[in-house]
Structure 1
Amino acid sequence: MPSRPISLAALTVLELAPPEMVTCAFDAGYSHVGIRLLPATPTEPQWDIVGDTPLLRELERRLADTGIKVLDAEIFRLRPDTRAADYEAAIATAARLGARELLVAGNDPDEARLADSFAALCELAAGYGLGAGLEFMPWTDARDLQQAARIAQRSGRADAGVLVDPFHLSRSGSRIADLAAVAPGRLRMMQFCDVPAALPPTMAAILAEARGERLFPGEGGLDLVALLRAMPAGIPLSLEVPTLALARTVGATERARRALAATRRVLAQAGE
């Protein structure tokens, strides 16, 4: 059986420019990377890689030289005024890089409109050979697994994906058992990390933890083995483990190596 694809997510090594991230992934032993084409926040690094830019061409060279593949591209926010066509240049860039999936965030409180926007984005992505997965996060308008699955269903598209992250599963109050109600075809990849079992006291603290201080798989309080067994077998894992405190003394490649080694230990516990 071929080994499960394991990808280095941008948030794990956010200080690196995309070409350097590819080299980091290669040196640390990954098969794939996730590329942040569009920033998640206005304060994070901004990279000019949408369209035929010099940085994009350097990224393509680095991918070709290392053999690293692109798993996903992020982050595509669906707001009340979003039109799918607004994202076509970024989607075309993701396709040019060979990505499989687009990571989507729901930031529209009107669920029916959000489902329609998601359907339109999925349709546009499919035209470029890409899937799109809605990532539920407790501070967004796709708050938990059940709501994300409902939005995907309301989109009317069988290819509307749902992106599961152990962090968000825990912090949204969702349960592993809830995955049984989600069509397996919607679960095409998952993010992977760990976190203490105890929930932070406020949403602001949860958000800070999400963006800056997660734990390597197996070093927290989540039942990652049970989660792996509840998800479709062999789907790619994207290791999204920001550790800002550790990053003050440990470089990106070593942190990426530790995340991968920890993940392999959990996979072994799950029988892989």
Structure 2
Amino acid sequence: MTQQFSLAYLTVVNTPPPEMTYMAARAGYDFVSLRPIYMGLPGEPNFSLAQNSQLLKETKQALKDTGLKLLDIELARIADGVDPKQYEPELEVAAELGGKHVLSSIWTDDRAYYIEQFAKLCELADQYGLTVELEFVPIASVSNLAGVVDVLSTVDKKNAGLMIDIHHFHRSHDTIDELQKVPKDWFRFVHLCDAPGVIPTDHDEMIRIVREARSYVGEGGIDVAGIVNTIPQVPYSIELPNKQQSDLLGYEEFARRCLVTAKEYFAKHPRNKEKVNC
């Protein structure tokens, strides 16, 4: 099975969906992973495809021109005061564009509330043939593998899954032994990157690395192959924000280098077919 790759939004942050799609195609990716759900972060542009008909038209044309597929959209956060229903317009557009998955994470400490809201999101996405992939983030409320396993086991939705981000997995101190216990049908794609092996104790430094200083695969200190080879073969969405490298190379060349270094790494670290079936 040939490994497939997607270009994730944060790798080329603030790039409009049509431009990002053409860029991903020229760089050699198989998919693109977009962020049409506006998060209201400082300086973040609003790339809502549901609210901007011209942007949607141009994105459709870019996908048609390139032959790329939309892998997933982000980020359907579960948080206090946020109704999952508000994501529906973007879910509908994602399905219209041929997307398969919706990325989610949890940012409220109220377990009863986030279980209920995540279940609602799954039910809503299911109406559009989409799966919901729950990502744990060390700085969020559900911050480790055990937290996601708890959510997915409790909601028990067929279209709910687990999205492992290599950086977050390492930072959460989770282990490959624990990852091996997770049901294989929970996995549909992975966020691929590398990062320094030493985990920062300073919160601001952790956020800085997450947002702008991740490493090319194989150039950090994480056992990337050990993690991904525990998971069934699924698309790797390269989420590798690195401001220094992208400023130096420009987004397109940086995206290409992210892909080339990842392929070179996996050529040296092939999957153990006896351990994980694809």
Instruction: Find the residue that maps to 2:218 and give its secondary structure.
Output: coil
Aligned residues of 2:18 and 2:59 also touching (Cα < 8 A):
yes
Contact residue 118 and residue 160 of structure 1 kept, 8 A: no
Q: TM-score, length-normalised on structure 1?
A: 0.95
| Mapping of residues 160-179 of structure 1, within 5 Å | 160-179=160-179
**1:246 alignment partner in structure 2:** 245
RMSD: 1.4
Deviates more, 1:204-213 or 1:81-90: 81-90
1:76 & 1:226 partners in 2: Cα distance? 29
CA contact (8 A) 2:193 2:216 kept: yes
Number of aligned residues: 270
2:247 corresponds to which letter in structure 1? Answer: R
Look up the match of 1:92.
Answer: 92
Aligned to 2:275: none
Structure 1 regions of 5+ residues with no counterpart?
none
* Residue aligning to 1:23: 22
Q: Structure 2: where are the runs of 5+ without partners?
A: 272-278
CA displacement 1:79-134 (0-9 Å, x = unmatched): 12232222111111111121111000101111222122111111111110110011
Q: Is 2:215 aligned against 1:215?
A: yes
* Deviation by residue 1:218-253 (Cα, 9 ceiling, x = unmatched): 110111111121011x20100000011122221111
Amino acid at match of 2:165: D
Task: Provide the identity percentage.
Answer: 33
Give the C-alpha shift of residue 51 in structure 1.
Answer: 4.2
64-73 or 245-254: which moved more?
A: 245-254
1:256 is aligned to: 255
Answer yes or no: is the 8 Å Cα contact 2:48–2:90 preserved in 1.
no
CA distance in 1, matches of 2:208, 2:4: 28
Tell me if structure 2 keeps the 8 A contact 1:51–1:93.
no
Distance in 1 between residues matched to 2:37 and 2:45, nearest whole Å: 10
Q: Distance in 1 between matches of 2:82 and 2:201?
A: 32
Tell me how far apart the structure 2 counterparts of residues 19 and 163 of structure 1 sit (CA, whole Å): 25
Aligned residue in 2 for 1:146? 146
Query: TM-score, with normalisation over the residues of structure 2?
Result: 0.93
Could you list the structure 1 runs, at least 4 aligned residues long, displaced by more than 6 angstroms after superposition.
none
CA distance, structure 1, for counterparts of residue 242 and residue 52 of structure 2: 32
